[in-house]
Amino acid sequence: MGLSRISLENFRNHAATTLGDTAHFNLLVGENGAGKTNLLEALSLLGPGRGLRRANLAELPLKDTPGGAPLPFAIGASLTEAGTVSARIGTYTDAGQPGRRLVRVNGTNASAVSLAEWLAMSWLTPSMDSLFTDSAGTRRRFMDRMALAIAPDHARRVNQLEVALRERGKLLEHNGDPRWMDAIEAQAADHGASVARTRAELVLRLMDELSALPPEPFARPSLTYRPGGPLDEIALRAELARARPRDRAAGRALIGPQRDEMEVEMASTRQPAASCSTGEQKAMLIAITLAHGVLAAAGRPSVLLLDEVAAHLDPVRRTELFRRLREGRAQVWMTGTELAPFDAIRNEAAIWRVGAGRAERI
């Protein structure tokens, strides 16, 4: 289950690229700057959100000429299940409204959030190596992306929570009508409690999957969800009302899911992940990604994007990674500058040589 008949038009450095005859393992090989990660980014935009680079929409289109206007871009793919096409999904921009990302499913207009109902998407990129040392907000976004595997409407809930909190902040600043404040806080509590409960469930289910994985060669992490407020809707609404004076002084809400945290430790030593070595952090991140892949592959086509992962693993960890990926249901896309690290799966993979915005099957 995964993607086939993939097409890109005017995306990053790809003017017109197609990827057909896909497999369980799919390898994109080429020099640095050839456009391999651009292809992964395009695939990541077939899910909700801003993709694996979190880029602004204006950064994505191919430029018509140096310094010229960006062209509308389009990304499309077929979803396959047991070798049969189940749907055609795509995302694109239009020349008439270049600042808006549009989505179509089976030829019908749809929302970006709805893409999670059709396809489960996970990824691991070099920029994520700082996950454990970065801000709590980075880990919240990480949780929210993973949560789509168990609750496809989670992105919508997160967006609605953010809207409600912004409106509440404006009302606090301008001493707005208390009755309107009550209504806005009721919305924030409704969406906030849903977001918090989904995050809590995600961490519990990830821990179940992690406990089933062997502790070696990837260090097993221990995850703990630390809520920023009550998980119960009524209790959260009461806390928001009680915190109005403090939040007005602070200029922001100091309680609620926007303050959530996911704490990570190495299970064997109880050492915080932020204090572990770079190699240990990488191993724990891979373990979380593999555990999430199991959750994501339940019931929908699932895709796992791994950017420059194999080259940075020793032979033992690389062999184990391929073994676990082979046993999983998710379709896998990997990038590398050379084929040597992928020798163990070369005969079972679809391989493309990427260069100068082109992808040639080899």
Count of other CB atoms within 10 angstroms of residue 96: 7
Provide the pLDDT for residue 99: 87
Closest CA to 341 of 33, 32, 28, 39: 28
- Provide the whole-model pTM: 0.91
Q: Is the predicted pLDDT of residue 3 greater than 70, yes or no? A: yes
Per-residue pLDDT tens for 115-144? 998 999 999 999 999 999 999 999 999 999
Provide the pLDDT for residue 67: 66
| Bridge pairing between strands 349-355 and 74-81 | unpaired
Provide the pLDDT for residue 70: 74
Copy the structure tokens of residue 43: 């695939």
The band of 271, judged by pLDDT with boundaries at 50, 70 and 90, is: very high
Copy the structure tokens of residue 23: 């497999």
Q: Is the predicted pLDDT of residue 89 greater than 70, yes or no? A: yes
Closest CA to 206 of 145, 293, 126: 293
Q: What is d(CA 321, CA 315) in angstroms, rounded to the nearest whole number?
A: 10
Q: Is the predicted pLDDT of residue 295 greater than 90, yes or no? A: no
Q: Is the predicted pLDDT of residue 84 greater than 90, yes or no? A: no
Question: Around 74, how many Cα atoms within 13 Å sit in the side-chain half-sphere?
Answer: 12
Q: Is the predicted pLDDT of residue 65 greater than 70, yes or no? A: no
Window from 57-71, 284-298, 325-339 with minimum mean pLDDT: 57-71
Residue with the bigger pLDDT between 290 and 214: it is 290
Which domains, from first to last, does the chain contain? 1-119+302-362 (3.40.50.300), 127-299 (1.20.1050.90)
The phi, psi pair for 189, rounded to 5°, reads: -70, -40
Query: What SS3 state is found at 300?
Result: coil
Closest CA to 165 of 195, 198, 128: 195
Provide the pLDDT for residue 322: 95
Strand order across the 97-105 sheet: 14-19, 2-11, 74-81, 84-94, 97-105, 108-110
Provide the pLDDT for residue 98: 83
Handedness of CA 4, 9, 11, 15 (dihedral sign): positive
Provide the pLDDT for residue 66: 66
